[in-house]
Amino acid sequence: MARGPALWLGPLLLVSLWASSAPASLLRCLAEHMQQFQESSSLGLSLGPGAVALPKEGWLEQPLDPFNASDRRSFLQRYWVNDQHWTGQDGPVFLHLGGEGSLGPGSVLRGHPATLAPAWGALVIGLEHRFYGLSIPAGGLDMAQLRFLSSRHALADVVSARLALSRLFNVSSSSPWICFGGSYAGSLASWARLKFPHLIFASVASSAPVRAVLDFSEYNDVVSRSLMNPAVGGSPECRAAAAAAFAEVERRLRAGGPARAALRAELGACGALGRPEDQAELLGTLQALVGGAVQYDGQAGAPLSVRRLCGLLLEGRGNGSRPAPYRGLRRAAQVVIQSLGQRCLSSSRAETVAQLKVTEPQVSGVGDRQWVYQTCTEFGFYVTCEDPGCPFSKLPALPSQLALCEQVFGLSISSVAQAVARTNSYYGGQTPGATRVLFVNGDTDPWYVLSVTQALGPSESALLIPSASHCLDMAPERPSDSPSLLLGRQHISQQLQTWLRLAKESQGRGGV
């Protein structure tokens, strides 16, 4: 089956997870931009003097429906292999799981688990998630196909990949397999250990939102707190300025006429802002812009940090000019648009719905249609701002976000609520009960509130890194890394050491 060239683009380890339309698109583009930036840095390193060989790309034939033995259809699932440090068939295997986006060769070359492999002589394998990147089954993304897209299907792929790759690379039956993943893939890593403890010896789950939730108002609670946190460059004045900026946007939208037209031009909105749904779309995109600065704070390739955003919002406030915060928000929007190479900010609900209805796989590999489908059928994750303390607009409200499931997929609101409850029942939410899982989170990351942040038992450990953003522990090391991040990575390494010593003892006793 012919495939395109292996590009050093977009593994999307840090994808936004946000489910609503335009905000999702902006955050996911942010994530893709950062991954491209980091991948290109890795490529430069890999081509330098004394560089390691490039990872190998491979394909596994997987059953389209692993739960129906009479269905003979299959698809090709992409994987990447880095065997530079592998000490041989008895060495451990670090399995890096892909999530809701394309998985590139950087998944086995930079950041953990790749940086942890040399110390343990590990084989590193990256497995792309079904229906994302180039692992899309023939037949496209219509509803008949999408019923084979779920976390349960992805876990079945992990099982069959584990067995097939063991044979392919002649891995010893006593070698421990350890799963790694970040964001949704972090949840998959923890669930792989939960559901298949005989195949997966342990898991490191970074920024893993294991609790599904319909109304995710807590996201903006964390964003609000982070904007006030001096440790990352925030302040009470910054949060107040953000609130003032959004109030000014809403004032101009209500004013209509020339004020609204000027707002559209100044913010670089793609379309007219006459309809309420288009106004909500723009306000959601602006929320995502601020949320993205917090979610990816301090990460390589991120156009805005909390410190820079607050600097823009507070610039010129001393001269008594009331719209100063709004001007700062406008400049922040320009920074993000230019960084992402976009021509304007998404503000058309109809255009968003039309794009999500496209069933042809998108070349970019971002996978918006697929991920929105998973939020409608499994996770929810609809970020709202309806709490009194939220500094942004109350729009888009939860009903308009849930309406996407109906408009795009024909799924009722009640079915989405039932799906969220079913997911938590199946996996256990924030008390999953899996042993030998380390949950790693940063307290600047809005997603940490859906993860496990305190140890649930002696073999269910958790690590909360102060002032760290989404999946930051998985990123390549940088000179600017904080002492708490360095300590966090050291903790992960020590936990691995404990597990692998346990695995060796188990090997000695004749079983894992």
Selecting among 348, 445, 451, 461, the annotated active-site residue is 445
Mean pLDDT across the chain = 89
Enter the tokens of residue 333. 């929007």
Residues in the chain: 512
183 a catalytic residue:
yes
Choose between 104 and 16: higher pLDDT: 104
Selecting among 85, 96, 153, 470, the annotated active-site residue is 470
The answer, yes or no, to whether residue 371 has pLDDT greater than 80, is yes
Selecting among 42, 151, 183, 451, the annotated active-site residue is 183
Using a cut of 0.75, tell me whether the model's pTM lies above it.
Answer: yes
Per mean pLDDT, which range of 30-39, 80-89, 412-421 is the poorest? 30-39
445 a catalytic residue:
yes
pLDDT of the residue at 508: 65
Cα–Cα distance, 110 to 119 (Å, whole number): 14
Cα–Cα distance, 100 to 187 (Å, whole number): 12
Residue of 61, 216, 359, 65 lying closest to 367 (CA atoms)? 359
pLDDT of the residue at 366: 65
CA 11 to mean position of chain CA atoms: 10
129 a catalytic residue:
no
Q: How confident is the model at residue 505 (pLDDT cuts 50, 70, 90)?
A: confident
- For residue 63, is the peptide bond before it cis, meaning its omega torsion is within 30 degrees of 0? no
Cα–Cα distance, 182 to 36 (Å, whole number): 17
Cα–Cα distance, 503 to 91 (Å, whole number): 11
Q: Assign residue 143 a region (left: φ > 0; alpha: ψ between -120 and 50; beta: otherwise).
A: alpha
- pLDDT tens readout for residues 11-49: 333 344 444 445 556 776 777 777 777 777 655 555 444
The answer, yes or no, to whether residue 357 has pLDDT greater than 60, is yes
pLDDT of the residue at 318: 59
Tell me the average pLDDT across 242-247.
96
